[in-house]
Amino acid sequence: MYIYQTQDWPNFIWDNDKLLVLLANIRHVQGRLLGQMESLGFKLKEEALLSTLTLDVLKSTEIEDEILNKDQVRSSIARKLGMEVSGLVDSSRNVDGVVEMMLDATQNYVQPITTERLFGWHAALFPTGYSGMYKIEVGKFRSGDMQVVSGSMGREKVHYEAPKADQVGIEMDRFLGWFNHTLPEIDPVLKAAIAHFWFVTIHPFDDGNGRIARAITDLQLARSDGSSQRFYSMSNQILAERKRYYEVLEKTQHGANDITEWLIWFLSCLGSTLVNSRNILDSVLKKAKFWERYNQISLNDRQRLILNKLLDGFEGNLTSSKWAKIAKCSQDTAIRDIQDLINKGILQKEAQGGRSTNYELIIE
């Protein structure tokens, strides 16, 4: 029997005593993080926001084994928020769609979630009407039944079977009624955890349920912060704990209406998210310190582009050929740009040798 088939569905219960310490710690760290971010100047705060939102979009889709282009995501967010950022690139329709959904959830967090709003998010996720090679029903609740399975053909394992299609409308009306008008005695962070679990249990769409559930979670966490400024990424931590996430979710969906174990996992995951958000702040401060140190040094646009990529976490090794490809210039120009930065004490050759020469920032 699945949880939605129990007599008490969806009257969830939980053991408050097991949650109080976790919840109190999260509220403390939330407040401290927001205070730290508020003390930053406008440009640093904007850079931290852009970094966090980019990470959130990338990791939310990566949970579904879909890899988006980081530069496209960052550029799409910057354009939609009106940020003046160097090195913007064109972004694809599917990237713009994911960004549009995430920004609507976090920037318009005070607005209620309606059926029409969810349909808009779903349509944004699948602008072509296809999920991979499969055509799906876009901007509407599913008309077929839904199973979550793993394994190859003939050896599939059914992990979960969602409510029948003819029940989805009724279940979503009940969910949205609760979400938009819930009583104030439920802590806003707990509400985010409950909403995530409730939505993915209904599984109302053909595809995209996980990404939309995480958007709903981000919206509710923005309400708990009282701010559209996002400085931590729950999706990043869920990806890191993906195996355990699915285990607890499946176990709770097969149980009675006591969701204590799910809430404990969610709060623990959020706690780790808040602690790890320090990495984003450190990265932003490191970047600001770097540009403050070299603000009087003459640099061309190509050099600024590559240096920003290095500061944002360049994947792999930087070579002259990669420089030429990214900066869209000749190999000779790339070598001159690199040598100029070496002469100015900004770049150096990596210590280890190899078939090609690699370069790295000089960190002071």
pLDDT in tens, 297-319: 999 999 999 998 898 878 888 99
Report yes or no on 287 lying in a domain.
no
Beta bridge mates, 349: 359
**60 and 15 assigned to the same domain:** yes
DSSP state for residue 296 in the 8-state scheme: T
Report yes or no on 152 lying in a domain.
yes
Looking at 236, 251, 280, the residue that finishes a domain is 280
Looking at 226, 245, 280, the residue that finishes a domain is 280
Split at pLDDT 50, 70, 90, the class of 252 is very high
Are the CB atoms for 342 and 358 separated by under 8 Å?
no
pLDDT digits (tens, 9 = 90+) for 78-108: 999 999 887 789 999 999 999 999 999 999 9
pLDDT at 284 (0 to 100)? 79
DSSP string spanning 179-245? Answer: HHH--TTS-HHHHHHHHHHHHHHH--SSS-HHHHHHHHHHHHHHHHHT-S-----HHHHHHHTHHHH
Residue ranges making up the domain that contains 301: 297-361
Of the listed ranges 84-98, 157-171, 271-285, the least confidently predicted one is 271-285
**224 and 356 assigned to the same domain:** no
Chain centre distance of CA 327: 28
**255 and 330 assigned to the same domain:** no
| CATH number of the domain to which 311 belongs | 1.10.10.10
Of residues 184, 181, 178, 183, the one with CA closest to residue 197 = 178
Q: Which H/E stretch holds residue 273? A: helix 260-276
Phi, psi for residue 319 in degrees, rounded to 5: -120, 170
Are the CB atoms for 322 and 314 separated by under 8 Å?
no
**310 and 264 assigned to the same domain:** no
Alpha-carbon dihedral angle through residues 300, 306, 312, 313, given to the nearest 10 degrees: -160
Q: In whole angstroms, what is the distance from residue 47 CA to residue 57 CA?
A: 16
Split at pLDDT 50, 70, 90, the class of 177 is very high
**328 and 195 assigned to the same domain:** no
pLDDT at 356 (0 to 100)? 76
Report yes or no on 140 lying in a domain.
yes
Q: In whole angstroms, what is the distance from residue 143 CA to residue 164 CA?
A: 9
Split at pLDDT 50, 70, 90, the class of 36 is confident
Record the tokens describing residue 18, joined without a space.
Answer: 């097991």
Split at pLDDT 50, 70, 90, the class of 354 is low
* Beta-sheet pairing, 359-361 with 157-161: unpaired
Split at pLDDT 50, 70, 90, the class of 220 is very high
**199 and 106 assigned to the same domain:** yes
Are the CB atoms for 204 and 98 separated by under 8 Å?
no
If you count them, how many residues does the chain have?
Answer: 364
What is residue 347's three-state secondary structure?
Answer: strand
Are the CB atoms for 337 and 326 separated by under 8 Å?
no
Phi, psi for residue 147 in degrees, rounded to 5: -125, 145
**318 and 210 assigned to the same domain:** no
Look-up: residue for tokens 């009940």?
Answer: 174
| CATH number of the domain to which 151 belongs | 1.10.3290.10
Q: How many C-beta atoms lie closer than 10 Å to residue 144's C-beta?
A: 8
Report yes or no on 235 lying in a domain.
yes
**266 and 196 assigned to the same domain:** yes
pLDDT of 340 over the 80 cut: yes
Report yes or no on 107 lying in a domain.
yes
pLDDT at 81 (0 to 100)? 95
- 265-to-222, 233, 262 alpha-carbon distances in Å: 20, 16, 5
**174 and 199 assigned to the same domain:** yes
Report yes or no on 292 lying in a domain.
no
Looking at 247, 280, 313, the residue that finishes a domain is 280
Are the CB atoms for 68 and 101 separated by under 8 Å?
no
Chain centre distance of CA 150: 24
What is residue 295's three-state secondary structure?
Answer: coil
Report yes or no on 270 lying in a domain.
yes
Beta bridge mates, 348: 360
pLDDT digits (tens, 9 = 90+) for 98-146: 999 999 999 999 999 999 999 999 999 999 999 888 899 999 999 999 9
**62 and 197 assigned to the same domain:** yes
Report yes or no on 108 lying in a domain.
yes
Domain count for the chain, please give it. Answer: 2
What is residue 85's three-state secondary structure?
Answer: coil
**10 and 131 assigned to the same domain:** yes
